[in-house]
């Protein structure tokens, strides 16, 4: 941002000291002004001489208002300075996203973008039609954000950019692009949640619709095996691109419910994340005709927990319980007058020893946690994650140890549930639980892409029938019955 410094004369400063708290309509703190003048001139304002010699004439000395730590300069606009975004207290929140079509990211629009970032503090900023090159993109340097550019190389115009907050540690994904289509793909990891792949795309008006659809479909299909649990959010200027089949194929929905350029809806934000709320419409940058779009960050749905009671039965506690149980005097049990009294006395004695050596404790566990997941595996997973975050050499050893523990626990669980189960219904329910895919999909919406054309199951069957008909020739007519 370019700011304009203000100069003050000696008479203005003296007038400010004696009469008013404002100079030329600008409100300034007393202590800041006096402290700055004393620091720069090594003397207080009260020690300034008010008279000079008659032969020297009237002095009109101008002083420049000094810069202070709280107010560096007095800007000529009311734009707010950019402050680095702070990470949320818990990194399990969906990132807030700000999107706009810049149509040339010049200095004026960049200044207003800084003010939007300061007000809304988005974690990710997606920009299309930046019209930047390698030299001009160096001007986009916002504190606390990492820049990811995809500029158009063959001619001016186009280009996209993603600004990701530093605390997100976003990773750029390498994906092929076409000659005119501009796109950037990044992956954002969220603690204990599924990662999010954010894409910023610009589809030119004269670009072939089928080519853009094929590019998006191919890219998502290529990224899915590498990141099977990732969620997607596609933001960009699609220029009336028909995305109905694309949304149906991958289960996407549009967060933008309003017109983004006059009476047209050109900018979209497609995602399969159900926690996001509809986008909010903001004013455009400078004299731009595309409005700004803000999607506020939301908390993930909290996991459901249940409370269970469990005794602390460690080997050491068990041994101490058995030792005291063996040394207990059972005379009061044996000499009881009736059988009911003996049983009650026995239960009372054993329960007292259990509560003493192996007390019951209430634990809070996830209701959707797999049944084969044990506390020892959870401890190993925590140790593995801690070693990975600190960069310890024991990370690979702990990783293999976790894998072995999971395989062993699953094998033990299968043997206990299947081999010892006599109820057929429970047996089949256990088989379904073990073989259930981790990420269920709707088979009705799944499509097979052939030559860039997504096909449903019935359409695929018709294609196969037509193909085999061409190979085998005309079908043989059915044999006629003897009655004819």
How many residues are recorded in the chain? 484
Over residues 311-330, the pLDDT tens digits come to 888 889 989 988 998 888 88
pLDDT at 83: 54
What is the sign, positive or negative, of the torsion defined by CA atoms of 275, 261, 288, 161?
positive
- Residue 210 CA to residue 207 CA, distance in Å, equals 9
For residue 196, pLDDT over 80 is answered with yes
Domain residue spans in the chain? 7-64, 97-295, 305-367
For residue 106, pLDDT over 80 is answered with yes
pLDDT at 465: 77
Read off φ and ψ for residue 100, nearest 5 degrees: -160, 155
What is the CB neighbour count within 10 angstroms for residue 436? 8
Lowest mean pLDDT among 239-243, 297-301, 331-335, 383-387: 297-301
For residue 154, pLDDT over 60 is answered with yes
**How much is the average pLDDT of 206-212?**
88
What does the DSSP 8-state code read for residue 47? Answer: G
Banded model confidence at residue 388, pLDDT cuts 50, 70, 90: confident
Banded model confidence at residue 17, pLDDT cuts 50, 70, 90: very low
Over residues 404-426, the pLDDT tens digits come to 998 888 888 877 777 766 677 77
pLDDT at 300: 52
Banded model confidence at residue 477, pLDDT cuts 50, 70, 90: low
Share of the chain above pLDDT 70, in %: 70
Read off φ and ψ for residue 324, nearest 5 degrees: -75, -30
In which residue are the tokens 């549009």 written? 254
| The model's pTM | 0.51
User: Which of the two residues, 397 and 66, has the higher pLDDT score?
Assistant: 397
**How much is the average pLDDT of 358-370?**
77
Cβ contact 98:122 at 8 Å? yes
- Residue 252 CA to residue 270 CA, distance in Å, equals 6
Cβ contact 127:182 at 8 Å? no
pLDDT at 269: 95
**How much is the average pLDDT of 348-377?**
82
Banded model confidence at residue 91, pLDDT cuts 50, 70, 90: very low
CATH 3.60.10.10 applies to domain 97-295: yes
pLDDT at 213: 92
In which residue are the tokens 């523990």 written? 405
For residue 473, pLDDT over 90 is answered with no
Over residues 232-278, the pLDDT tens digits come to 999 999 998 999 999 999 999 999 999 999 899 999 999 999 889 89
pLDDT at 479: 60
Q: How far is CA 427 from the centre of its chain?
A: 40
Residues sharing a CB contact under 8 Å with residue 211, sequence separation 6 or more, in sequence order: 178, 181
Banded model confidence at residue 52, pLDDT cuts 50, 70, 90: low
- Residue 315 CA to residue 409 CA, distance in Å, equals 20
The packing angle between helices 315-326 and 339-357, to 10°, is 140
Banded model confidence at residue 39, pLDDT cuts 50, 70, 90: very low
For residue 56, pLDDT over 80 is answered with no
For residue 156, pLDDT over 90 is answered with no
**How much is the average pLDDT of 30-58?**
46
Q: Hey, what are 425's tokens? A: 């219904």
* Mean model confidence pLDDT for the chain: 76
**How much is the average pLDDT of 46-66?**
50
Banded model confidence at residue 53, pLDDT cuts 50, 70, 90: low
Banded model confidence at residue 126, pLDDT cuts 50, 70, 90: very high
- Residue 279 CA to residue 95 CA, distance in Å, equals 13
**How much is the average pLDDT of 28-42?**
41
- Rounded to whole angstroms, what are the CA distances from 136 to 132, 140, 141, 153, 283? 5, 8, 11, 13, 25
- Residue 277 CA to residue 295 CA, distance in Å, equals 7
How many Å is the Cα radius of gyration of the chain? 36
- Rounded to whole angstroms, what are the CA distances from 165 to 121, 181, 255, 364? 9, 25, 22, 34
What is the sign, positive or negative, of the torsion defined by CA atoms of 375, 379, 384, 389?
positive
What is the CB neighbour count within 10 angstroms for residue 468? 10
pLDDT at 67: 42
């Amino acid at each position: 941002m370019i700011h304009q410094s203000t100069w003050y004369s000696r008479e203005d400063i003296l007038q400010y000291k004696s009469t008013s708290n404002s100079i030329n309509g600008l409100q300034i703190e007393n202590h800041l002004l006096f402290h700055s003048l004393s620091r720069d001139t090594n003397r207080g304002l009260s020690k300034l001489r008010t008279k000079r010699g008659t032969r020297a004439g009237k002095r009109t000395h101008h002083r420049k208002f000094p810069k202070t730590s709280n107010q560096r300069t007095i800007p000529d606009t009311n734009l707010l300075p950019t402050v680095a975004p702070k990470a949320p207290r818990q990194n399990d929140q969906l990132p807030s996203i700000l999107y706009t079509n810049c149509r040339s990211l010049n200095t004026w629009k960049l200044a207003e973008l800084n003010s939007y970032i300061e007000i809304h503090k988005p974690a990710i900023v997606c920009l299309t039609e930046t019209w930047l090159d390698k030299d001009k993109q160096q001007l986009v340097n916002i504190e606390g954000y990492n820049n990811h550019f995809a500029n158009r190389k063959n001619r001016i115009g186009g280009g996209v950019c993603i600004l990701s907050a530093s605390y997100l540690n976003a990773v750029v994904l390498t994906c092929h692009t076409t000659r005119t289509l501009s796109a950037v793909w990044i992956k954002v990891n969220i603690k204990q949640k599924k990662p999010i792949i954010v894409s910023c795309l610009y589809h030119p008006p004269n670009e072939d619709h089928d080519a853009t659809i094929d590019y998006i479909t191919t890219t998502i299909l290529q990224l899915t095996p590498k990141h099977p649990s990732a969620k997607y959010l596609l933001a960009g200027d699609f220029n009336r691109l028909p995305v109905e089949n694309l949304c149906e194929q991958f289960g996407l929905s549009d967060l933008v419910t309003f017109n983004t350029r006059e009476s047209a809806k050109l900018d979209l934000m497609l995602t399969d994340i159900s926690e996001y709320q509809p986008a909010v419409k903001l004013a455009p940058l400078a004299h731009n005709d595309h409005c700004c779009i803000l999607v506020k960050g939301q908390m993930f749905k909290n996991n459901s927990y249940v409370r269970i009671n469990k005794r602390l039965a460690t080997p050491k506690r068990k041994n101490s319980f058995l030792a005291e149980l063996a040394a207990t005097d059972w005379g009061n049990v044996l000499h009881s007058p009736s059988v009911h009294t003996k049983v009650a006395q026995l239960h009372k004695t054993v329960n007292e020893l259990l509560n003493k050596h192996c007390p019951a404790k209430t634990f809070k566990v996830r209701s959707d946690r797999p049944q084969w997941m044990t506390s020892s595996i959870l401890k190993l997973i925590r140790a593995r994650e801690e070693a990975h975050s600190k960069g310890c050499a024991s990370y690979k050893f702990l990783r293999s140890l976790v894998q072995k523990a999971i395989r062993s626990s699953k094998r033990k669980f299968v043997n206990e549930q299947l081999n010892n189960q006599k109820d057929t219904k429970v047996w089949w329910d256990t088989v379904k639980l073990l073989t259930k895919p981790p990420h269920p999909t709707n088979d009705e919406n799944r499509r097979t892409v052939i030559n860039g054309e997504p096909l449903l199951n019935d359409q695929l069957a018709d294609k196969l029938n037509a193909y085999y008909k061409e190979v085998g020739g005309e079908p043989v007519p059915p044999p006629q019955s003897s009655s004819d």
